[in-house]
């Protein structure tokens, strides 16, 4: 069933588990995410980034995901990931996204607060929940995200930000990166604990790919409820396709796409089980 992301994350906060938010860009990525969630009997968040708006029919895509979510045996929500433009947020709200992320992290704090508050008021009028980010993730290998500064979240700024904007869940920068780590990951769980002490809304961890499992478990115990995953799933699909094309004669595209979906599913299942504490 299609649910509001906020309700899903409040439940995760109470139950101390994490929900996977898989970045999607095709039918197969959505099918894989929902299929895995059903197999593991966990909720799942389908996340489409603003960066794919130029190439994806957003209204058509949202209608498709909503229809698939309604049929699903587990809670599914449709989330707009990393949106920088108000127009994209309104477009997502109009076509039925459950939640939106406004990424004002490139602005100074005061401006980020002003813009996020405005977005939050608009989204809440439509019953859509809002994620925002304080701090900024650096970019590792094979990621398709924007380059960030790697600035960690300051707990006092996070507290003021949440109080003044009314956002529903907050992405905290604690040292994870978008993409695969180059060198030893430095994840600051102690900082996350300090953020959790002053912020009572559900917390979000971006950069799920490559993050050591032990750190993920500790982060969930310190208030993380939603974990974004993109790069590792993409890598599984692309490396599958590379070996596939080396070994096969001319294949039909339908077979190629189906096999690519099957290659993504075990990677998604690994994350879903880890986040659920299985």
| Contact positions vs ligand 13P (CB under 6 A) | 23, 81-82, 143, 145, 178-179, 206-209, 228-231
Spacing of C-alpha 102 from chain mean position: 12
Pick from 65, 1, 57: which is nearest to 27 by CA?
Answer: 65
100 φ/ψ angles, rounded to the nearest 5 degrees: -135, 145
Q: Residue 31 in contact with residue 237, Cβ under 8 Å?
A: no
Tokens (6 digits) for 113: 């607060």
CA distance 197 to 201: 10
Catalytic annotation on 81?
yes
CB closer to ligand 13P out of 135 and 179: 179
Q: How many residues belong to the chain?
A: 278
Q: How far is the CB of 50 from ligand 13P (least distance, A)?
A: 11
Tokens (6 digits) for 15: 């139950």
Q: How far is the CB of 230 from ligand 13P (least distance, A)?
A: 3
Distances (CA, A) of 164 to 39, 112, 117, 118, 184: 40, 11, 7, 11, 36
Q: How far is the CB of 145 from ligand 13P (least distance, A)?
A: 6
CA distance 77 to 87: 21
Q: How far is the CB of 39 from ligand 13P (least distance, A)?
A: 21
Q: Choosing from 7, 41, 57, 81, which is the catalytic residue?
A: 81
The catalytic residue positions are: 81
């Amino acid at each position: 069933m299609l649910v509001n992301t906020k309700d899903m994350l409040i439940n995760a906060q109470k139950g101390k588990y994490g929900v996977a938010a898989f970045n999607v860009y095709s039918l197969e990525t959505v099918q894989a995410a929902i299929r895995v969630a059903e197999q593991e009997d966990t909720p799942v968040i389908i996340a489409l980034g603003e960066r794919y708006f130029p190439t994806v029919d957003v209204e058509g895509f949202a209608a498709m995901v909503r229809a698939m979510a309604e049929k699903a045996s587990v809670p599914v929500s449709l989330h707009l990931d990393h949106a920088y433009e108000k127009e994209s947020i309104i477009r997502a709200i109009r076509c039925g996204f459950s939640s939106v992320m406004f990424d004002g992290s490139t602005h100074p704090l005061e401006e980020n607060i002003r813009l996020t508050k405005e977005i939050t008021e608009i989204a809440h009028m439509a019953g859509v929940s809002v994620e925002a980010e304080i701090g900024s993730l650096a970019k590792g290998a094979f990621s398709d995200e924007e380059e960030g500064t790697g600035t960690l979240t300051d707990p006092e700024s996070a507290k003021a930000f949440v109080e003044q904007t009314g956002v529903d869940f907050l992405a905290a920068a604690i040292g994870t990166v978008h993409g695969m780590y180059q060198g030893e990951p430095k994840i600051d769980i102690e900082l996350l604990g300090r953020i959790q002490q002053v912020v009572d809304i559900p917390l979000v961890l971006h950069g799920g790919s490559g993050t050591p499992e032990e750190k993920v478990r500790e982060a969930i115990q310190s208030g993380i409820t939603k974990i974004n995953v993109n790069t590792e799933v993409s890598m599984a699909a692309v490396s599958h396709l590379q070996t596939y094309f080396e070994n096969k004669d001319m294949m039909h595209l339908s077979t190629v796409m189906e096999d690519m979906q099957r290659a993504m599913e075990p990677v998604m299942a690994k994350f879903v089980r880890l986040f659920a504490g299985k």
